[in-house]
Structure 1
């Protein structure tokens, strides 16, 4: 892409991810597009990568990559803690203008920050509240969140719910910068539906968390209560205790199919595009990217009814909070391509005008310029 001119080049380091280029995780995908956008605007960008990341070169699209030892594959959550330490240990002796920290878990090591460097923490979810974490890890993540709030020069979030939470709990406002989506899907291919043995617009779809603190069970209870036997596809990791419970609970209902995790972008986009009704969860788990990708794939969306989802979808979605609403929508919503094209088109317009990476990166740059101008060192 053509390089965008900037007033002054900044040295920017990104920590808190497993690395780029991202292969399948939404969290890293956001970091990747922000890093790309910053590099395209002439800034010097460095990203820390796990030593066993599949991409082993020291440079990617003009972004410097530093691989450090990551023992997660041996130690699990403890390995994440050590990996974050290794990143900050290396970072300590490097000169940079600012550090972007994705997530709060690495904030324990913020005391290793280089001198005269700004720390910006991107917090997209209240991770410590999620049921998948045990008591010890939950307390650790809660403490890490406090460290991030205390030691960051600025907090950034793509969630209005998280912004409200941070302001209420810590009396500290976060800068709201939405996520973006990279491309609007145009490569429709019905042949990819043969893998799941479904027909275009004759099935409904949920992609997201299958954890106890999510809304998957409410949705699937609504599917059963509706009495409708259209195929309902569920995409998400169900290897956890609660995920296994869900797959067993709905096993008697042959039209509910658990596909597990799906990482192939083309397959996912086509499953979204050809679905009749797409269900989106609460957004508490940092899943905004899933909502934007659904909008980009021409989905007719029904979303859990909260302020975060309404702030993006406005009136261009159906909403639910209980199984009765889910059941009613499955019964009453007619074929999307015949009756709901305007809703879909208006959501597409939002992506072009607001939720695109070019606009998102411009907001980050403007925010960084303000922080640099106002620093006291």
Structure 2
């Protein structure tokens, strides 16, 4: 079976959750005897990676148009090099679904998190994502949710089911922490944040909570954003206000990044609008003591194997508790790793994708069947919380 993966930055994974999923799932599908085509962005022109065929194509450098422009070129290529099933990542790419369907290629949409809630979008951007949620519901043969919270949202808002396929967690039973010396760090001698510098990931709030606390260990911030933003400027200003805060930017050395997770006194997770987040799973798999923003997605993944906060005071207290009782913090990390190993397995996730593609090719998962079973999507009126979002961000 020939499977196309469309709508991400491609492989090797160097950006976020979608790219991680494509690499982990695609490579395993190849091992299972399938052909996998991954449409990629960036300067890497190599024709293959881990057995997957890479198709590098350009994209417009614009926060909104980059993804859609690249996907449009990808779909154009797909029409000339047909596949048995296509997985489109990100509901923002829904305007291209009619073209894929017209070519009679079965297609599933991985809808990601609640994109319209992301702080970088203004009213036009948020409306665009809401419209494309509905288009995805209407035109995709299947929807993929990586968290039960996302599945609940589509069930409640659109009266439509989705296939729950979470991410897997890389489990590290042991890690050589000697590489910490490259960064002048020691085991359990720092707190860690790993996130794209986007408003909904709350890196600025995490730094504020750290500054408000009596924590003694330094705060290490790993992350960047591919375009200038007010949020990034705010993070930089806060970080520069205290010499204990160190910004490393993007860390692309994956072994070093795993070492940072495993050696941290705490991993601070501020993501608020996504589904199952790979950075959280990676921290859990490394045995990190996780302190996470209190939202349903994070509680779903972490369970009772971490600490939650929803304000600066709670975050400050969690940091201070970590430093005053490192034994309890380390025990939470071990429980989190055990939970991740039992629950989030890439091999099982890949089996789900394989089954989905086979059923779409056979016609037992189709838009027609979904429509017959669940009717039309609910009206286009935005949910009540849409109107509560700030409108100060540009689109």
Give the TM-score normalised by the residue count of structure 2: 0.82
In structure 1, the residue corresponding to 2:224 is in which secondary structure? coil
1:46-195 → structure 2 map (5 Å cutoff): 46-50=37-41, 52-57=42-47, 59-68=48-57, 70-73=58-61, 77-113=64-100, 115-184=103-172, 186-195=174-183
Aligned pair partner of 1:345 in 334, 348, 357 = 334
In structure 2, the CA distance between the partners of 1:11 and 1:291, relative to structure 1 (3 Å rule), is same
Are the aligned partners of 1:278 and 1:302 in contact in 2 as well (CA < 8 Å)?
Answer: yes
1:220-369 → structure 2 map (5 Å cutoff): 220-237=207-224, 239-285=228-274, 288-334=277-323, 338-369=327-358
In structure 2, the CA distance between the partners of 1:177 and 1:76, relative to structure 1 (3 Å rule), is closer
Q: CA deviation at 1:286?
A: 5.3
In structure 2, the CA distance between the partners of 1:306 and 1:202, relative to structure 1 (3 Å rule), is same
* Number of residues of Structure 1 aligned to a counterpart in Structure 2: 363
Structure 1 unmatched ranges of 5 or more = 1-9
Are the aligned partners of 2:166 and 2:276 in contact in 1 as well (CA < 8 Å)?
Answer: no
Q: CA deviation at 1:53?
A: 4.0
Q: Which moved more, 1:207-216 or 1:318-327?
A: 207-216
Q: Deviations over 1:21-44 (max 9, x none)?
A: 324443212111111121212223
In structure 2, the residue corresponding to 1:13 is in which secondary structure? strand
Aligned pair partner of 1:210 in 197, 212, 215 = 197
In structure 2, the residue corresponding to 1:213 is in which secondary structure? helix
In structure 2, the residue corresponding to 1:333 is in which secondary structure? helix
Aligned pair partner of 1:26 in 8, 17, 41 = 17
Give the TM-score normalised by the residue count of structure 1: 0.86
Are the aligned partners of 1:277 and 1:336 in contact in 2 as well (CA < 8 Å)?
Answer: no
State how far apart, in whole Å, the 1-side matches of 2:208 and 2:56 are. Answer: 45
State how far apart, in whole Å, the 2-side matches of 1:237 and 1:93 are. Answer: 36
Task: Say what the alpha-carbon RMSD is for the aligned residues.
Answer: 2.6
